[in-house]
Chain A
C-alpha cells in the first residue's frame, strides 16, 4: 500500500504553541498534499509540495518533504483554537491520491 501514515494519531496542545505532524509513505511520489478536515465536514486543501521541493510555506503553515526518507512534516505555528481539526497527508500515485489515517489536532484555548 502506498497510503500515507501520519503520526501522531492525536495531538493536544495549548493555544500559541506549535504543532508538528508527520507523514510517511512507501513508494515514489509526484507530489504530497496536506488536507484539513473539520469534524464531519469536507476536506480543505492546505498545501501541495512537489517531489523536487524540500520546503514550502503558506501563512502559518510550513511543510517539509524528504524523499530519501519518504516522509513529510506539517508545522502549524502559533496555533489557534480554530486550528482544531484532523489533518491528512495525501500522495498521488497513478490516477488516485492515497490518504493517510490522519492526525487529530486539538488546540486548547
Chain B
C-alpha cells in the first residue's frame, strides 16, 4: 500500500527555535493536511492545502505556522518560534480526493524544551 513518509520521527528543539517538519505525500495525491496530537489528547486539525495554497486552517494555525510544497513532492510544516505547548505528535496526511480516505504518516514527535 502507498505510504506517506514523515521525517524526522522525533525532534527535540529549544524554545524559540524554528523547526521544519517534513512530509512526502503519496505521489498522485492532491490534498494535503497537517494534524497534531498533544499527548493524551485528541487529534486536532491544523491546516489543509490544495492547489498550492491553504484551503482551510484552524485557530491553532497562527502566524507562527506556515506550510509549503517547495518542490512538488515534499510538504513541510514550519513553526517559526517554538513554544513549550507546541510539543506534540504532528501527523501529515494526503488524499487523492477530498472525500476519499486520507493516508496518514507515522508522525513526527516534537519535543520543545
Which residues of A are interface residues toward B (Cβ below 8 A)? 3, 30-31, 33, 35, 40-45, 48, 88, 92, 94-102
What residues make up the interface of B, taking CB atoms closer than 8 Å to A?
Answer: 31, 33, 35, 41-45, 48, 50, 55-56, 58, 89, 91, 93, 98-107, 109
Report which of A41, A45, A102 forms a contact with B107, defined as CB distance below 8 A.
A41
Q: Inside 8 A of B50's CB, which chain A residues have their CB?
A: 95
Do A42 and B102 form a contact, CB below 8 Å, given A96-B33, A96-B45, A98-B45? Answer: no
Q: How far is the CA of A92 from the CA of B107 in the complex (A)?
A: 21
Interface of B is mostly: strand
A96 to B89 alpha-carbon distance, docked (Å): 18
Check A95 against B99 for contact (C-beta < 8 Å). no
With A40-B109, A42-B104, A45-B101 known as contacts, the answer to whether A97 contacts B45 (CB < 8 A) is: yes
- Given the known A-B contacts A95-B55, A96-B33, are A43 and B48 also in contact in the complex, defined by CB atoms under 8 Å? no
